[in-house]
Amino acid sequence: MPAKLITPSEAYLQSYLTVCRDCKARGITAYPLHDPDDFETWRHTIFQSYENKHLGIGLKEGRVPSSTFWLVKGGEFIGEGNIRHCLTEALERYGGHIGYCIRPDYWRKGYGTLQLRLLLAEAARLGLPRVLITCDEDNLASARVMEKSGAVYQDTIGNIIEGIPTRTKRYWADTVPCPLTPPKGKDQKWTSSA
Ligand SMILES: CC(C)(COP(=O)(O)OP(=O)(O)OC[C@H]1O[C@@H](n2cnc3c(N)ncnc32)[C@H](O)[C@@H]1OP(=O)(O)O)[C@@H](O)C(=O)NCCC(=O)NCCS
């Protein structure tokens, strides 16, 4: 059964919780999942909260609407991605349009790249022709996932994140492939009509 991207669903909640516990135990902070120790608090609100963020209801100051997706396979939660519907000045410097993570026991099997490609298709459906994606300068895995998904490096800038100086790499990715014009003669090549 191939992995697929879905709207977060109750059917994968226990698997998601297991991954939240694993990420917390490993001290992974690059992409925030829920705190497993507060499960009883968020288990009843998680899906409505995602829906509200998608619709832009009750957003905190400075936040923009965003859509969350889960990558799942065979009953297991594999990863999560979040698409911000627009940028703010802060997101232009750090965060960009798309954030993502893959559960640690599935790293280096291609799921990060698959998930970002599926997220780019969702971004296109949300009306975003190009997206900004950022990562810490030392996050080699995230940078490689972006490059393998066709994102183009823009620059590296300095940020202060929660009081800590950070170097942030910024990439842009097209969410829709250029439409191709078929060759008219046998000597002509496929060309982009965009
Ligand atoms: C970043 C992340 C999503 C990558 O997921 P993944 O499933 O391991 O990615 P893939 O298997 O598709 O690997 C893609 C490429 O990255 C490379 N890669 C993966 N982990 C790497 C690492 N630790 N160091 C260097 N390269 C790495 C892979 O080798 C592969 O490149 P290759 O095909 O040229 O060999 C995952 O490490 C993760 O969830 N990290 C924590 C959260 C995070 O950092 N999110 C991004 C915030 S900006």
Q: How many CB atoms neighbour CB 3 within 10 A?
A: 19
Domain CATH code at residue 91: 3.40.630.30
Provide the pLDDT for residue 177: 57
CA of 91 from ligand 1 middle (Å) equals 22
Task: Give yes or no for residue 184 having a pLDDT over 70.
Answer: no
Report which protein residue has its CA nearest ligand 1's atom 37.
141
CA of 95 from ligand 1 middle (Å) equals 17
How many separate domains does the chain show?
1
d(C-alpha 183, C-alpha 5), whole Å: 35
Q: State the closest ligand 1 atom to the C-alpha of 23, by its place in the atom list counted from 1.
A: 41
Question: Which residue range(s) make up the domain with 48?
Answer: 4-192
d(C-alpha 54, C-alpha 39), whole Å: 22
Provide the pLDDT for residue 1: 84
- Tell me the average pLDDT across 168-190: 68
Burial (CB < 10 A; 0-12, 13-18, 19+), residue 28, is: middle
Tens of pLDDT, residue by residue over 29-71, are 999 999 999 999 999 999 999 999 999 999 999 999 999 999 9
Task: Give yes or no for residue 193 having a pLDDT over 50.
Answer: no
168 close to 153: Cβ distance less than 8 angstroms: no
d(C-alpha 130, C-alpha 83), whole Å: 12
d(C-alpha 35, C-alpha 105), whole Å: 19
From 98, 111, 144, the mutation candidate for ligand 1 (largest count of ligand atoms within 8 A of CB) is 144
What is the token pair recorded at 193? Answer: 């009509």
Report the percent of the chain where pLDDT is more than 70.
91
Burial (CB < 10 A; 0-12, 13-18, 19+), residue 20, is: buried
Q: In whole angstroms, how large is the CA radius of gyration of the chain?
A: 18
